[in-house]
Structure 1
C-alpha cells in the first residue's frame, strides 16, 4: 500500500512541477513582451514629441496664388 501511495505522490509532484515550470516560463515571456511594449511606447511618444516640436518650429509655407491672365 505504501509503495502505491509513494508512486502516486511522485506522479502528482512530477505533474505539479511540470505545470509550475510552464507557468513560470509563460510569466517570464509575458514580462519580456511587456518590457518590449513599454520601450516601444516610450520611443513612439518621444518621436511624436520631436515631430510636433519640429512642425511647430518650422516656418509656415505660404504660396502665392497663381496670376490669372
Structure 2
C-alpha cells in the first residue's frame, strides 16, 4: 500500500526531517564536548590530588629536618 501525500505534507515531512537531523547532530556535538569536559575535570582532580600529596610530603620532610636541627642544637 503506497500512500500519496499532499505537496504541503511532503514539504512538512522534509522540514521535520531536517530539523530532526539538526537536533541529532547538536546532541552528538554536545555529548562529545561533555566527554571532553568530564575528561579534563578528572585529570584536573588527579593532578590536584597529586600536588596536595606532594605538598604534604614536602611539609612533613621540612618539619622532620627542623626537628632534627632543634635536637642537635640542644
Q: TM-score range by the shorter chain?
A: 0.7 to 0.9
Give TM-score, length-normalised by structure 1.
0.77
Give TM-score, length-normalised by structure 2.
0.73
Unpaired runs of 5+ residues, structure 1, are: 63-69
Shift of 1:6: 1.4
| Aligned-partner Cα distance in 1 for 2:20–2:62 | 61
| Aligned-partner Cα distance in 2 for 1:23–1:11 | 18
Unpaired runs of 5+ residues, structure 2, are: 67-74
More helix by share: 2
